Amino acid sequence: MPGTANSELKSEVLLRCVGCGAITPVDESGLTCTICGNLLEVLFPLPGSELPNPAALKSLWLKRRTSPLAEDQSGVWRFREVLPALGEAHAPITLREGNTALYELSLCARLAGVQRLFAKHQGMNPTGSFKDTGMTVAASFARKDGFRWVACASTGNTSASMAAYAARGGMKSLVLIPDGKISWSKLSQALEYGAVTCQVKTDFDGCMKILNEIVSRMPIYLLNSINPFRLEGQKTVAFELMEHFDWQPPDHIIVPGGNLGNSSALGKALLEMKDLGLISRLPKLSVIQAEGANALVRTVREKAGRELVQVHAETLATAIRIGNPASWKKAVRVLEASGGTVEQVSEVEIALAKAEIGADGIGCEPASAVTLAGLKKLVKQGFVKPNESVVLVLTGHLLKDPDFTLKFHRGDLFEGRPHEKEAAILATRQRAPIVLDATVDAVLKTLEAAEKQP
């Protein structure tokens, strides 16, 4: 990477441009291709390297789950055969991320009209979001390369995760977040882990623009998902998912789309697993966006995926409030390779789906709930058949955005907004807190009334 603090380090990692296909050693490249300006990805497997035996890999990865070593206990590093090599001399920065649960969602399955529905809950990671799986890898490479500073622009989860891994790795971190547009819970995480946290008076896309300029001038390592090492870590979620299914892929995987790093990473993993002989067919990977932040949906529908349609993003699902997604080309490639699709969902549909996932005893943050809202539409359209198996990737924990949840249950989430009328359908899921006199009688009466409710 440019500005590499420790320039004598030579790495065996090669990067390939997703536009022109040019291949460069990591030590000689930046975050974008010097020939055509497109994003880069880690080349795997390395040309000429011997491909590992799939059966041996499966049993090795499973065996590591009972090992006491930190790098084996990490749900990311236990798959290290498919990750860029950190080298013997460098320990990974790990919080024992990954190894998240796969839950069956029975209520949501009924509501969506499918027989088998699962949630791969990435909100169960150490800082409460899927970002940790990528951060452990990219932060470890930043430290290996001798960086003192790491930085990101964020809608909240990347910054929380980066700040934690930087602190664990003895590095300083700089966070740029859109002023007033991220949840307090995510902001408080960055503060607690000691990041220099700047609330910039712009949106995510504006923060990204400023940060790109800063990292080009200073020896600061960029930890946004345009960093190919982030996506390598996030890849392991798909490996773990296939392991859950004993390497018999489900029919559909559905993910939320923001900056589109996650969908790109999962897609890269699926293609690699197929090439390695770990799975015999690809699940369809589909991406769901909020109607107000639907750059990929429009790119696919209006430009056949060939040219990015940027949008001015607006949604209460602040994590995916992104109008200029960096990894759109990678995501389009994944959609095409896996036969997946794109869909958009309204603010009210997101809120309803979030409460339904909560009612299944799981819970997630608003951005994650677009997956269920999108699935309902895909079933209605016939793209997902009732007898097909579906996995929703839930990207963030319920506690990431308590304001949204409280407002939803109090019934004022859409107050004064254009969606107020449509929001009437949310009433059956709303459970406002009940203020009572301090008597047994008052509680008993409340119980009685609740018993009569459907």
Q: What is the DSSP letter of 388?
A: S
Q: Which stretch binds ligand F0G (CB under 6 A): 20-28, 139-147, 255-263, 341-349?
A: 255-263
Q: Which stretch binds ligand F0G (CB under 6 A): 140-148, 260-268, 348-356, 377-385?
A: 260-268
Handedness of CA 348, 353, 359, 362 (dihedral sign): negative
Q: Tokens 């009569």 belong to which residue?
A: 452
Handedness of CA 82, 88, 89, 94 (dihedral sign): positive
CA 205 – CA 297 distance, rounded (Å): 18
Site for ligand F0G contains 262 (CB under 6 A): yes
Give the total of residues touching ligand F0G (CB under 6 A).
Answer: 23
Site for ligand F0G contains 233 (CB under 6 A): no
Q: Which of 1, 83, 215, 320 binds ligand F0G (CB under 6 A)?
A: 320
Q: Which is nearer to ligand F0G, 73 or 133 (CB)?
A: 133
Site for ligand F0G contains 225 (CB under 6 A): yes
Q: Distance from CA of residue 134 to its chain's centroid?
A: 9
Q: Which stretch binds ligand F0G (CB under 6 A): 53-61, 142-150, 156-164, 440-448?
A: 156-164
Q: CB within 8 A of 413, min separation 6: which ones? A: 316, 351, 404, 407, 423, 426
Q: How far is the CB of 294 from ligand F0G (least distance, A)?
A: 13
Site for ligand F0G contains 344 (CB under 6 A): no
- Torsion angle, alpha carbons of 291, 294, 298, 301, to 10: -70
Whether the Cβ atoms of residue 317 and residue 370 lie closer than 8 Å to each other: yes
Q: Which is nearer to ligand F0G, 72 or 203 (CB)?
A: 203
Which residue, judged by CB position, is nearest to ligand F0G in the bound state?
A: 258
Site for ligand F0G contains 208 (CB under 6 A): no
Site for ligand F0G contains 319 (CB under 6 A): yes
Q: How far is the CB of 264 from ligand F0G (least distance, A)?
A: 8
3-state DSSP assignment of residue 364 = coil
CA 323 – CA 311 distance, rounded (Å): 5
Q: Which two tokens stand for residue 77?
A: 């590093």
Interaction pattern, residues 381-400, with ligand F0G; x per rule: CB under 6 A? --------------xx----
Site for ligand F0G contains 261 (CB under 6 A): yes
Give the footprint of ligand F0G on residues 125-144 (CB under 6 A): 129, 131
Q: Which two tokens stand for residue 203?
A: 């949106």
Whether the Cβ atoms of residue 135 and residue 150 lie closer than 8 Å to each other: no
Site for ligand F0G contains 154 (CB under 6 A): yes
Whether the Cβ atoms of residue 390 and residue 375 lie closer than 8 Å to each other: yes
**Residues at the site binding ligand F0G, with contacts judged by CB under 6 A:** 129, 131, 154-158, 225, 256-263, 319-320, 365, 367-368, 395-396
